Structure 1
Amino acid sequence: MKRALVLALLAVPVLGLGAMAAEVANPMQPSALWEDMRLAVIGVDEEPPVDPAIFDLDAPPRADNPALVPVRITQPAGAPAIRSLALVVDGNPAPVAAEFTFGEALMPLDFEVRVRVDTYSDLRAIATLADGRKVMAGRFVKASGGCAAPAGKSMDEVRATMGEMRYRTADEDGRRIGTLMIRHPNFSGLQRDQLTLLTIPAEFIQTLEVKQGETPLFTMEAGISISEDPVFRFAHAPGDGPVTVHAEDTDGRIWDQSF
């Protein structure tokens, strides 16, 4: 009897570690939402293969803040180049968070962005390779309410700082790491003004283009799911000339900045 009790107690931490390991891995789960939207999003009805030898996506199993969920997309050395990528949050009101194109200078890819997650959902990236093949990676993320989360600043501060940009660089393993920060509320159309309680119309950065000199680094066509005050972190081959940023939002505002 005592031996059985000891064995049972010893099994508890092992089971706990197993559950923790499963949570850390947090692979994608079967998604009826994705089944319904796949053809519209990627243009093919066939499920793209998941292949970590080509690229992987990392996101927290349980998000601390559903309006600021970090997503990192990486490739191992020698992996085939990714030309474009669709970032999808299955359970969001507008599931396609953004569509990116990447220049050769970003290969192999190491790219980070923050998104809103509205409900427990698969968060997936569908990459198109240079030869036209599509490959997928993703994680299941436990988060809710990200698309309707209140803005972090007052409307006066939002208007005063909108379009401001900062850029910093660091060198790591022979590559340059750029971090681009843009002030913009990226209103989703589902948030309420905390003073008037009226719904704030959607207003977000729709187009972003980043270059170094004449060399394209990346472009983005975005929807409502990119976070407030978006931050982009990306590794690239060192190049010549300033880093230039061109951004446009849904209200027709344009910002250009050179670093």
Structure 2
Amino acid sequence: MKHLARLFALLLLVAAGLSQARNLQPTDDPESSPVWQKVRASIFEGRSIAPAPADMLVLEAPSRAIDAAVVPIAIRSRWPQGAGRYISKLYLIIDANPSPISAIFQFSPESGRAEIETRVRVDAYSHVRAIAETSDGQLFGVTRFVKASGGCSAPAGSDAQAAAASLGQMRFRVEGGLKGRTPVLAQLMIDHPNHSGLAMDQYSRQFTPAHYVRKVDVTYDGKPVFSADVDFSISENPNFRFWFLPQGNGELRATVVDSRDLRFVAAQALRDTPK
């Protein structure tokens, strides 16, 4: 019930500004968005958000999406993750989506880099925002404008029976192997329909009930790498590319919980590459 209540609250949040969002143009002032103003007041409570320096935070997104249901997004940072000041959170906000607070990623000094790549749904022409929060509480933001339409109500791309059969299957891909304490790039792939609840089944003419990944936790050798609170703004079959900082041999582990409280776990043992 709490997830339905959250969804209803977010739908109310976006309703007032959605008509304006559908008519947005790239030249429109990102700060004037009524949805953004409400989101900002809700989760940042009036705190100052400074423009992010280019050497700190970069948001990569297409200016015009080929497929509004599968829009590639990358949030990159060159800041080192360490015991001093580091990026502790990244917020991904898509103004025109029914649920504009699309993802909140949390990082630790063991994350290697506070970067994430994924694929999202975009429901209408929209400002897309990445907000970085540092470990000392400062906020920095960057915005891109994306032309896309209908991503949240697009029908599923996979067969329903096949999707149900593979539900929750996960796998890692680690690039380059472990080499001492050098950050390593990895990818987590999750088989999950991530139904938004807004797409109509083409045969039954009924809306497919919402069913999506809502929580992701990744650790290495028992230490946190990143966690994410996400929702149906993430595309079907969620896919995350991220960095982690190994300290010798260990196990890369992902724990995923969806909106029906189903829990899925995947693990992969890794060994340091001899020099």
| Bin of the TM-score, shorter chain as denominator length | 0.7 to 0.9
Answer yes or no: is the 8 Å Cα contact 1:57–1:138 preserved in 2: yes
Name the counterpart of 2:222: 214
Once the two structures are TM-superposed, the CA of residue 178 in structure 1 deviates from its matched residue by 0.4
Question: Which amino acid counterpart does residue 86 of structure 1 have in structure 2?
Answer: Y
List alignment gaps of at least 5 residues for structure 1.
1-25
Q: Structure 2 length normalisation: TM-score?
A: 0.79
Name the counterpart of 1:252: 261
Residues 88/140 of structure 1: CA separation in 2 closer, same or farther (3 Å cut) = same
Q: Structure 1 length normalisation: TM-score?
A: 0.84
Name the counterpart of 1:58: 60
Identify which of 53, 57, 72 aligns with 1:70: 72
After TM superposition, list the pairs within 5 Å mapping 1:1-259 onto structure 2.
Answer: 29-30=29-30, 31-44=33-46, 46-78=48-80, 80-171=85-176, 174-239=182-247, 240-259=249-268
Q: What SS is found at the alignment partner of 1:242? A: strand
Name the counterpart of 1:18: none
Answer yes or no: is the 8 Å Cα contact 1:177–1:233 preserved in 2: yes
In 2, distance between residues paired with 1:62 and 1:127? Answer: 24
In 2, distance between residues paired with 1:56 and 1:131? Answer: 20
Identical-pair percentage = 35
Question: Which amino acid counterpart does residue 151 of structure 1 have in structure 2?
Answer: A
Question: Which amino acid counterpart does residue 218 of structure 2 have in structure 1?
Answer: V
Once the two structures are TM-superposed, the CA of residue 150 in structure 1 deviates from its matched residue by 0.7
Deviates more, 1:142-151 or 1:193-202: 193-202
Q: What SS is found at the alignment partner of 2:253? A: strand
In 2, distance between residues paired with 1:165 and 1:159? Answer: 14
Once the two structures are TM-superposed, the CA of residue 56 in structure 1 deviates from its matched residue by 1.4
Deviates more, 1:204-213 or 1:173-182: 173-182
Answer yes or no: is the 8 Å Cα contact 1:86–1:125 preserved in 2: yes
Total equivalences in the alignment = 234
Answer yes or no: is the 8 Å Cα contact 1:28–1:122 preserved in 2: no
In 2, distance between residues paired with 1:116 and 1:51? Answer: 27
Structure 1 outlier segments of 4+, above 6 Å:
none
Answer yes or no: is the 8 Å Cα contact 2:253–2:265 preserved in 1: yes
For 1:203-254, what per-residue CA distance to the aligned partner results, in whole angstroms no more than 9, with x for missing partners? 1011110001111111111122011101100122233311111111111211
In 1, distance between residues paired with 2:79 and 2:158? Answer: 41
Residues 208/60 of structure 1: CA separation in 2 closer, same or farther (3 Å cut) = same
List alignment gaps of at least 5 residues for structure 2.
1-25, 269-275
In 2, distance between residues paired with 1:154 and 1:161? Answer: 11
Q: What SS is found at the alignment partner of 1:83? A: strand
For 1:172-202, what per-residue CA distance to the aligned partner results, in whole angstroms no more than 9, with x for missing partners? 8943110110000111110111221100111
In 1, distance between residues paired with 2:77 and 2:132? Answer: 11
For 1:142-177, what per-residue CA distance to the aligned partner results, in whole angstroms no more than 9, with x for missing partners? 111000111011211111011011111112894311
Answer yes or no: is the 8 Å Cα contact 1:81–1:107 preserved in 2: no
Answer yes or no: is the 8 Å Cα contact 1:82–1:107 preserved in 2: no
Residues 179/159 of structure 1: CA separation in 2 closer, same or farther (3 Å cut) = same
Deviates more, 1:165-174 or 1:209-218: 165-174
Q: Which has the larger radius of gyration?
A: 1
Question: Which amino acid counterpart does residue 169 of structure 2 have in structure 1?
Answer: E
In 2, distance between residues paired with 1:153 and 1:146? Answer: 15
Q: What SS is found at the alignment partner of 2:149? A: coil
Residues 164/238 of structure 1: CA separation in 2 closer, same or farther (3 Å cut) = same
Q: What SS is found at the alignment partner of 2:250? A: coil
Q: What SS is found at the alignment partner of 1:61? A: coil
Answer yes or no: is the 8 Å Cα contact 2:125–2:149 preserved in 1: yes
Residues 176/116 of structure 1: CA separation in 2 closer, same or farther (3 Å cut) = same
